[in-house]
Amino acid sequence: MIGKIVDFIIGRASFVITAKDSHDVAVLNLLRDIGFYGCRVSQGKITFSCDCEKARGISKQLDALGVPYELDVVGIAYYVKKLFSRFGILAGVFGALLLNGFFSDIIWHIDVRGNKNISDEDILRRLNDFGVYEGCRKSDMDIKSLTRDYMLSDDRVSFMHMNVNGINAVVEVAESVKKSGTENDKKAPCNIVAKCDGVVTRMDVYSGGREVENGQSVVKGQLLISSFFETRTVGHLLRRAKGTVFANTEPVFEMRIPKNKYVIRSSSQKNKRSVSFLNYSLPIDGGTFMLRDEKVKLKTNRKPVFLIGNLLLPVTLEEEKYTLCTYGKKEREFSEAQRIFEIEYENRKKDFLNNGQIVSDEIETYEENGFYVFVCRLSCVENIGIDKPFEIREN
């Protein structure tokens, strides 16, 4: 084993001569001056070794004498010399090393995980503003600064981090949950004002100062219950106003429905396939289109490309399925417009009945400038008090 290691370091050439007659055996006498060692004769084969530098001279002698032989050369110096003699192979190896070092420093694919309400396109577009995109260099990225700057720029995200694995990057996000209000907001001083015009019929004041009386007419925005109220012992106090103010109101609900409507004349299904590389897209089936957005219903499917096993290539196959529609005008009948109004009116009444009562309603219908106009005048009893945060202004 040690001898083989030494031979590999300093280099060794081994010859095998198949002796067919005495002439081939006599060749050894002619080669003795050149120098060889480890000569053995077995089953008609002559085996000997020499230094790599002397192998060329022995090869020339055997070729001149017409003696068949086999040559095996090993050694670091021999392999290096052989590699340098083939400039093309050396240049190719050197170029491959340079390209591998260059392309391995590039992010070829970015995957977004953890988002539900925020789209992948929105997150990738924000990352692009910070210089992170498919095709950017890893050496130019500062993940700590990226995480901080991204979270400061988007209040919809409570956590964001990027993990880089080779040429792929995974962006982990956690969407923030917004609360409707806090305990401090519920205790803050607040007035109660009128949300619409009306005649007050009843007031129930639980906290605060009463500013209007029953039977009094009020206008939108007028103060009904003040956050200030007077006590016998400590004078005026500032509290959050609480109470209900019922009033007779006459709201008006108006709806204008166009006489003409757009209907689909014809539609056709189309497919478009393309290969996406970094920020570039190349169609592979010749499918291109220049269409207005309102005429196309588009659905896009993206599939990553794997070469062998889990080796992900920096390309994506995209298949876009869209419906091309042709629209035309058609006159809408009055009965159709009336059904639209009735559906909307019923929805408005459901919302209104949560906080009031409809005593009577009167509906008026007429046509004006290409529209069907529906005007509904109501007579209601409702709670018109709404909260308005207390503000202190400086002159």
Above 80 in pLDDT, residue 199?
A: yes
* Interval 275-302: pLDDT, tens: 776 656 666 665 544 444 445 556 677 7
| Selected residue with higher pLDDT from 10 and 227 | 227
The residue to which tokens 């106003």 are assigned: 241
The pLDDT value recorded for residue 1 is: 61
Q: Pick the closest to residue 132 from 157, 166, 113, 108 (CA basis).
A: 108
| Selected residue with higher pLDDT from 2 and 60 | 60
List the Cα angle 332/333/339 in 5-degree steps.
100
Q: What is the mean pLDDT of residues 13-41?
A: 70
**Beta sheet of 109-113, edge-to-edge order:** 109-113, 168-175, 157-165
Lowest mean pLDDT of 204-218, 247-261, 271-285, name the range.
271-285
Give the span between the Cα atoms of 156 and 337, in whole angstroms. 40
Q: Are 223 and 205 in contact (CB under 8 A)?
A: no
Q: Look up residue 384 and give its DSSP letter.
A: -
Q: What angle, 0 to 180 degrees and rounded to 10, lies between the N-to-C axes of helices 76-85 and 87-103?
A: 90
User: Tell me, what amino acid is at 322?
Assistant: Y
Phi and psi torsions of 308, nearest 5°: -135, 120
The pLDDT value recorded for residue 147 is: 85
| Selected residue with higher pLDDT from 28 and 13 | 13
The residue to which tokens 């599939």 are assigned: 303
The pLDDT value recorded for residue 395 is: 46
Q: Please, which residues have CB within 8 angstroms of residue 279's CB and are 6 or more apart in sequence?
A: 133, 134, 135
Give DSSP secondary structure letters for 311-334. Answer: -EEEEEEEEEEEEEEEEEEEEPPH
b/e 144-166 (16+ beta carbons within 10 angstroms → b): eebeeebbeebeebeebbbeeee
* Interval 57-74: pLDDT, tens: 778 877 877 777 888 877
Give the span between the Cα atoms of 212 and 2, in whole angstroms. 110
Where does the pLDDT of residue 233 fall: very low under 50, low under 70, confident under 90, or very high at 90 and above?
low
| Domains, the chain, with CATH or none | 2-82 (3.30.70.980), 109-175 (3.10.20.310), 187-247 (no CATH), 252-259+332-382 (no CATH), 266-327 (no CATH)
Give the span between the Cα atoms of 136 and 142, in whole angstroms. 12
* Interval 296-331: pLDDT, tens: 556 677 777 766 656 666 677 777 777 777 778 888
Give the span between the Cα atoms of 54 and 321, in whole angstroms. 72
The residue to which tokens 């017409």 are assigned: 66
Q: Please, which residues have CB within 8 angstroms of residue 111's CB and are 6 or more apart in sequence?
A: 168, 169, 170, 171
Where does the pLDDT of residue 3 fall: very low under 50, low under 70, confident under 90, or very high at 90 and above?
low
pTM of the model: 0.43
List the Cα angle 324/330/334 in 5-degree steps.
135
The pLDDT value recorded for residue 206 is: 87
The pLDDT value recorded for residue 42 is: 75
Q: Please, which residues have CB within 8 angstroms of residue 78's CB and are 6 or more apart in sequence?
A: 11, 52
Tokens of 292: 């207005």
Q: What percent of the chain stands above pLDDT 70?
A: 71
Q: Which helix (H) or strand (E) holds 18?
A: strand 12-18
Phi and psi torsions of 180, nearest 5°: -70, -30
230 has which bridge partners?
236
End-to-end CA distance of the chain: 99
Tokens of 320: 């876009």
